[in-house]
């Protein structure tokens, strides 16, 4: 695949470039462009400051890769700002992505959920369009930062859909603030301390990503991103369903890759914290979702150790990247579980998703 690395011109090339003459017409165009950029910046700052009121239900200008009707923004949390994409109206649903992806992984699911919900897809701190914090990649800290974003957006009580590492962040959010989370849809990740370690022999990337710095940083450089991440996507059951280039670009920055590794490096501490707090069992219903050709029932086996109401679901025709490999099933299942107006499964395979 072609390289996705984007670099600035080298100093040598910059010094050797011929000067561009500045005519009166060109100066006028530059002045107009500068004014336009300033106006855009002022609008962006006012949107962030206004919080949820600035993005009531989306708009025509969707962020790149997202369908029309969604709007993006950033809100301040500890360690920097968090990027989100929002649309729809109704009860709030927060979507947390996994690795090696961003909030874009939910783009096929969001329109269906937005029919009856306010849908907010968040880039985890350090990833996607969110700022890179200086530490705090343990899942308790990450969960608290996500909660700060939720509160800044005025969402109140939420339901959470999460995939992969997003699951590991959603768990302490729900555990530590059970009155603020109505339901959980946890996709393709057992918890650290309760089954995640059993997967270390399934895929070597778990140990590789969690290796001390700078081991993965030195081994995977910018030119290797598409090779490494492409291998991960090839593990899926339907690899052709994943549009890879946006994710290659999202992890093209060494700083972004280090942030992603830090989430893995925190797994051991996450396991200690999860086991120490397992007696604080989740009171809300948990839909534990696994791909037919991936984790299957393992997600439910893990959550039964920390929650009282666990409903297992196995997604047909899907591997690990469930929201991209079978978005229709995820949309229908999650909508039903979260309280679709009809309230009854339309197909037999959706029966486990009933609220």
Within 10 angstroms of residue 289's Cβ, the number of other Cβ atoms is 33
Provide the domain limits for residue 47: 22-54
pLDDT confidence tier of residue 347, bands split at 50, 70 and 90: confident
Least confident among 61-75, 204-218, 252-266, 275-289:
61-75
> What's the pLDDT band for 346 if we cut at 50, 70, 90?
confident
What is the per-residue pLDDT for 237?
97
Residue 165 and residue 63 in one domain: yes
Task: Identify whether 16 is part of a domain.
Answer: no
40 plus 160 within the same structural domain? no
Same-domain pairing of 38 and 152: no
Q: Is the pLDDT score of 25 beyond 80?
A: no
Q: What confidence tier does 61 reach under pLDDT thresholds 50, 70, 90?
A: low
Asked if pLDDT for residue 337 goes beyond 90, the answer is yes
What global pTM score does this model have?
0.83
Split into its structural domains, the chain has a count of 2
d(CA 87, CA 71): 6
Is residue 67 domain-shared with residue 32, that is, in the same domain? no
CB 72 within 8 A of CB 102: no
DSSP assignment string, 205-223: HHHHHTSPTTHHHHHS-GG
Q: Are residues 235 and 282 in the same domain?
A: yes
What's the pLDDT at 65?
93
Count of all residues that appear for the chain in the document: 355
Q: Is the pLDDT of residue 52 over 80?
A: no
Do 42 and 104 belong to one domain? no
> Does residue 175 share a domain with residue 50?
no
For residue 172, being part of any structural domain is answered with: yes
Q: What's the average model confidence in pLDDT over 59-81?
A: 89
Give the residue from 86, 82, 122, 126 showing the smallest Cα distance to 105.
Answer: 122
SS3 284: coil
Rounded Cα–Cα distance for residues 217 and 18 (Å): 37
| DSSP E strand stretches across the chain | 71-77, 80-88, 92-96, 118-122, 158-163, 181-187, 286-291, 310-315
Spatial separation of the C-alpha atoms in residues 250 and 101, rounded to whole Å: 8
- Reading the block at residue 296, the tokens are 């299957």
pLDDT at 51 > cutoff 70: no
Asked if residue 30 is part of any domain, the answer here is: yes
Q: Are residues 288 and 225 in the same domain?
A: yes
Query: Would you say residue 32 has pLDDT above 60?
Result: no
pLDDT, tens only, 130-171: 999 999 999 999 999 999 999 999 999 999 999 999 999 999
Output the pLDDT for position 6. 34
With b meaning 16 or more CB within 10 Å and e meaning fewer, what string describes 255-267? ebbbbbbbbbbbb
pLDDT at 303: 98
On the question of pLDDT at 321 being above 50, the answer is yes
Provide the CATH number for the domain around residue 88: 3.40.50.1820
pLDDT digit string (tens) for 264-307? 999 999 999 999 999 999 999 999 999 999 999 999 999 999 99
């Amino acid at each position: 695949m072609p390289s996705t690395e984007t670099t600035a011109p080298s100093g040598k090339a910059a010094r050797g470039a011929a000067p561009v003459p500045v005519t009166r017409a060109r100066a006028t165009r530059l002045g107009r462009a500068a004014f336009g950029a300033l106006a855009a910046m002022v609008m962006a700052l006012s949107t962030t400051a206004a919080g949820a009121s600035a993005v009531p239900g989306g708009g025509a200008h969707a962020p790149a890769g997202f369908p029309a009707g969604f709007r993006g923004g950033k809100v301040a949390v500890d360690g920097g700002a968090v990027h989100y994409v929002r649309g729809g109206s109704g009860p709030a649903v927060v979507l947390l992505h996994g690795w090696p992806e961003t909030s874009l992984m939910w783009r096929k699911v969001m329109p269906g959920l937005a029919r009856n919900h306010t849908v907010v897809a968040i880039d985890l701190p350090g990833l996607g369009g969110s700022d890179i914090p200086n530490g705090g990649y343990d899942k308790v800290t990450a969960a608290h930062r996500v909660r700060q974003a939720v509160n800044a957006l005025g969402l109140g009580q939420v339901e959470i859909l999460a995939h992969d590492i997003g699951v590991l962040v959603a768990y302490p959010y729900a555990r530590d603030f059970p009155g603020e989370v109505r339901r959980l849809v946890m996709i393709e990740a057992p918890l650290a301390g309760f089954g995640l370690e059993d997967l270390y022999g399934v895929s070597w990337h778990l140990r590789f990503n969690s290796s001390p710095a700078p081991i993965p940083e030195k081994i995977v450089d910018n030119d290797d991103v598409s090779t490494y991440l492409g291998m991960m996507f090839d593990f899926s059951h339907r690899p052709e369903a994943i549009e890879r280039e946006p994710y290659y670009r999202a992890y093209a920055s060494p700083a972004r890759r280090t942030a992603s590794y830090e989430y893995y490096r925190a797994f051991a501490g996450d396991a200690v914290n999860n086991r120490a707090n397992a007696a604080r069992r989740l009171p809300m219903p948990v839909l534990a979702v696994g791909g037919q050709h991936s984790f299957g029932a393992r997600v439910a086996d893990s959550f039964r150790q920390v929650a009282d109401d666990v409903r297992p679901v196995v997604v047909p025709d899907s591997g690990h990247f469930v929201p991209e490999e079978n978005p229709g099933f995820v949309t229908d299942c999650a909508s039903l579980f979260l309280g679709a107006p009809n309230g009854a499964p339309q197909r037999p395979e959706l029966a486990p998703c009933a609220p």
